[in-house]
Structure 1
């Protein structure tokens, strides 16, 4: 099993769906189950996902046991830690574990429990670090390949140009016929609409509506989005509007 190709959720389940092949694959032995088939087990019938789940229990005991049987280079666990985790999994008390192992006392077992909990906390932090690193590297790669015009939504200059050309078919000063459902595209349209307002100017609600009508027929929706996303602000009674940020 190549851990680099497996997600955390897939590891927890013990299987993954191979999209191109349409197969559910056991991570520990590689057995596959076609998602288009129905499988009979004794006198009952199951779909592929349920079948691979049952297979894990029948062939590997459980996902927990199968994971513990992975090489130390994958688990990072010592033999003692692996043994203790099995006993914890089986619900033995600390006193019972002392009788089943070479541990000197209950306090020794409790210390092992504490160390394993600390290891869990460290793993969470490490996962967060690696996730953040990967995200930053992806951002840097995009930045090198194309200019970023909106870091929050990771919108590139090329992406912005493409969306504007797609929706403003009658020119960038014209109106759009449909409003996008995807968040990035919404942001691109809305930030372009801001160009029709002047920084520092104050507008009545009617004036805002008239300007937004030149962008899209549902000007009320546009006005709401501009407020919700923090591009425009207004006073408490809604009589005056202004830009919070220009681009």
Structure 2
């Protein structure tokens, strides 16, 4: 399963915990960075030796602060939340009253905060109804329709639009068209949707937990395509990877 598929296919309960358990490999997997902890293995921390399940909980806290912080920090295209709403949700989680929030924000009124609180509650109700409707649709869908499911959108996507309406069938067709049997890329596509499919496939060459130098990125990309500079540029441009300001470090965007 693709790295981001684990995140997008996770249940609400799994998203709340921040990890999923994969019985086929006996692993606890972080939904945010794909870090894996094998059941039965002991993982050392600064002061403790932890079993896999406790180790992933520790990892999420140390690396991502909390599931709440990670999810709230995601782009608006995924959360549907404005910056003001995100700020207010942080105060709500702390248990602050409307009056206390007014003091923290240095403006507005308790009635304004109360109105925002009401709107977010309504948003929650709508989300529950929508999830239920989609669940009922999935139960009734024919197997042939389910096979036409859309592929997962990577969480670093800069702008989600119809370019990302890609089915698994479309993906397989594009990959077989542009990649040779030896794994090398014949040509880099000009159409946007095909670019995304090819770039997402290329991302599988990299380790999500590693920081790469530009030279290391180039050496890996050279193995599949001669114009590695173009591929590297598009990996950044389309939000698959990030780099620091001087370009000395690259990493997969989580």
Q: Which range, TM-score by smaller chain? A: 0.5 to 0.7
2:17 alignment partner in structure 1:
13
Contact 1:98–1:105 at 8 Å: present in 2 too?
yes
Does residue 131 in structure 1 map to residue 131 in structure 2? Answer: no
Superposed counterparts of 1:42-191, under 5 Å: 42-101=46-105, 103-138=107-142
Alpha-carbon separation, structure 2, partners of 1:93 and 1:47: 39
Alpha-carbon separation, structure 1, partners of 2:53 and 2:36: 10
Q: Greater relative contact order: 1 or 2 (C-alpha under 8 angstroms, separation 6 or more)? A: 2
CA shift for structure 1 position 140: 9.0
Give 3-state SS (helix, strand or coil) of 1:16's partner: strand
- Paired residue total: 142
Q: Deviations over 1:72-115 (max 9, x none)?
A: 11111111110100111122221221122254100111111111
**Deviant stretches of 4+, over 6 Å:** 139-142
Alpha-carbon separation, structure 1, partners of 2:140 and 2:51: 40
1:233 alignment partner in structure 2:
none
Does residue 36 in structure 1 map to residue 43 in structure 2? Answer: no
Supply the RMSD in Å over aligned alpha carbons: 2.2
Contact 1:56–1:62 at 8 Å: present in 2 too?
yes
Does residue 23 in structure 1 map to residue 34 in structure 2? Answer: no
Contact 1:87–1:97 at 8 Å: present in 2 too?
yes
Structure 2 residue runs of 5 or longer lacking an equivalent are: 147-254
Length-normalised TM-score, structure 1: 0.52
Alpha-carbon separation, structure 1, partners of 2:136 and 2:144: 12
Larger Rg: 1
Mean Cα displacement is larger for which, 61-70 or 37-46? 37-46
Length-normalised TM-score, structure 2: 0.51
